[in-house]
A = this chain, B = another copy of it.
Amino acid sequence: MSRTADWCQDSLHYVFDYETPKTLVIPHFGVGCVFRLTQLLVVLYVVGYVCVVQKAYQETDSVISSVTTKVKGFAFTNTSDMDPLFWDVADYVIPPQGDHSFFVLTNMVMTSKQMQTRCPELPGPSTTCVDDCDCTVGLSDPRGSGIQTGLCVNYSSTVQTCEVLSWCPLEIDTKLPERALLAAAENFTVLIKNSITYPKFKFHRRNILPHINSSYLKRCEFSHSTDPDCPIFRLKHIVSEAGEDFQDVALKGGVIGIIIDWSCDLDFWAGKCYPKYSFHRLDDKHPVRNVAPGYNFRFAKYYKTPDGEDTRTLIKAYGIRFDVIVFGTAGKFGIVPTIVNLGAALSFLSLVPMVCDWFMLTCTKKRDLYSRHKITHLSDDAEAESMSMGTTYGTQ
């Protein structure tokens, strides 16, 4: 045989000889029990906790969502401050287009017929004056209402304040009605249409479920107990589910989250994917550690007078902003997470023999016998002996 052939054969041997550990079988019932029991525990953990409870064999994906909302209802107000007014959706829903976030006006401070002109400041520690020297031309105090003209004028018969350039008359927002103007808003309803997608799984769904027909939709109203699938919500119900009183929130405004949870198990044997609604107040209602509690903003309606001059109606709008927040994670059987989790569990199975060996070599009566058969201590004597035995030993 040539050298190359030799080398080849050696390599082949190296590649295709199978090396397997020598083992010792011990017919001890106790040790066997410990062995099978620990194995069982690991398997139970994997099957029970990882697979059934945590569903770790699943791939996950996050939801993407689109929401449209439509409020219905009208109200009639008749207070001493204002003319009797009829309010419909176009008047009290801002912005009007029914996005995932919509605002329902419930209270307001309205300042009509404002024009760009001059008027005395609202009285306050930094705005009252005795004569023109107390006012500075061009001063614009961030806490004030406009640019000072340098004049000190009569605010009322008793008080003098600096004159400002501003939209006049100035808004007096301390006169907030004590009862919400649109208290009737509690009976308004909102229809929420929500369509979601899990792009990784190409899964689409709408919150109007297949078994719902349009006659049901015309009369239903959401309730956790009786109508959990109805997408029409009474505003009062939303606010009370969030743990608040509607009239309280309506007075100063607030932000309520309508939370739609689309957590889904998309495996065919589970096959359930329904929206779950919950409601939370999102702003901080406690007046402590809070600037500007409640929720309000200012907007204006602009007009031209017959002479072509600009005039506006400034509205400080208090109300409830409803934020529809959609979240969710879908899980579906995936080969990679399954492999990873099984692999990790297998690693723990490889710990089982260590536990059993320890038990066998310390807790059984015949531990010396087992130890002698299992473990060969290569002592110096053995080395000397084996040396003399020569090279045939290996293939004995």
Contact: B24 with A90, CB < 8 Å? Answer: no
Contacts of A147 in B (CB 8 A): 76, 86
Once bound together, how far apart are the Cα atoms of A94 and B84, in whole Å? 30
- Interface size class on chain A is 35 or more
Contacts of A96 in B (CB 8 A): 94, 297-299
Residue from B32, B103, B301 in contact with A18 in the complex, judged by beta carbons closer than 8 Å: B32
Once bound together, how far apart are the Cα atoms of A287 and B214, in whole Å? 9
A273 within 8 A of B: no
Residue from B27, B146, B339 in contact with A74 in the complex, judged by beta carbons closer than 8 Å: B146
Main SS of chain A's interface residues?
Answer: mixed
User: What is the minimal beta-carbon distance from A349 to any residue of chain B, in angstroms?
Assistant: 8
* A395 touching B379 in the complex, CB below 8 Å, given contacts A292-B191, A346-B348: yes
Q: A356-373: which residues lie under 8 A (CB-CB) from chain B?
A: 356-357, 360, 366, 368-373
A3 within 8 A of B: no
User: What is the minimal beta-carbon distance from A96 to any residue of chain B, in angstroms?
Assistant: 4
Contacts of A145 in B (CB 8 A): 74
* A21 touching B21 in the complex, CB below 8 Å, given contacts A68-B283, A395-B379: yes
Once bound together, how far apart are the Cα atoms of A146 and B85, in whole Å? 11
A303 within 8 A of B: yes
User: What is the minimal beta-carbon distance from A275 to any residue of chain B, in angstroms?
Assistant: 14
Residue from B32, B257, B340, B387 in contact with A15 in the complex, judged by beta carbons closer than 8 Å: B32
A236 within 8 A of B: no
Among the listed stretches A48-56, A125-133, A172-180, A238-246, which one makes contact with chain B, having 4 or more residues with CB under 8 Å of it? A48-56
A20 within 8 A of B: yes
